[in-house]
Amino acid sequence: MDINQLILTDDAVNAIEGGAWVGNLPGAPGVEVKVLGTTSAAYRKAIGSKMEAARKASKGVPLAQEQVTQMVREVFADVALIDWRGLEKDGKPFAFDREVARQWLTSRNGEVFADLVATAAQRLDADANSYVETVTKN
């Protein structure tokens, strides 16, 4: 096995840490989102802080799955999602808006969108070398 399949290139690490465009997402033809990876330092720091605060507030009572899911979505909204392209509203291009993104990512109505962002971030983590290679070729 080639060692390059087991390690990340510097460019791949930079994509995870600084964000990369991820497309070809299920159920969203033509949509791309620019995301940080969930293994990025910024994402890990933000989710760690939220989890620590929630654990302190719960005074030892285990966090409910709904609480954890909400924290993850908040971190996607505040940290991981950087931009989007290919989204429309009423047939017109819809520019990235952090507040709208936060509303969608943290509400029940936005579950499909939240899954899309999570999928993109996880794909970036899992295959950063390929994303960087594809971008470099184009």
Phi (first) and psi of residue 36, to 5 degrees: -85, 155
Alpha helices in the chain (DSSP H): 10-18, 41-58, 65-75, 98-106, 111-126, 128-137
* Banded pLDDT at 130 (limits 50, 70, 90): confident
* Banded pLDDT at 132 (limits 50, 70, 90): low
pLDDT given for residue 128 in this prediction: 75
Q: For the segment 30-79, what is each residue's pLDDT rounded down to a tens digit?
A: 999 999 999 999 999 999 999 999 999 998 889 999 999 999 999 999 99
pLDDT of residue 97 exceeding 60: yes
pTM metric for this prediction: 0.88
Mean pLDDT over the full length of the chain: 91
Q: For the chain, how big is the Rg over CA atoms in Å?
A: 16
Extract the tokens encoding 46.
Answer: 């933000």
Give strand pairing partners of 73. none
pLDDT of residue 136 exceeding 60: no
Query: Average pLDDT in the 86-93 region?
Result: 95
pLDDT of residue 133 exceeding 90: no
The residue among 120 and 60 whose pLDDT is bigger is 120
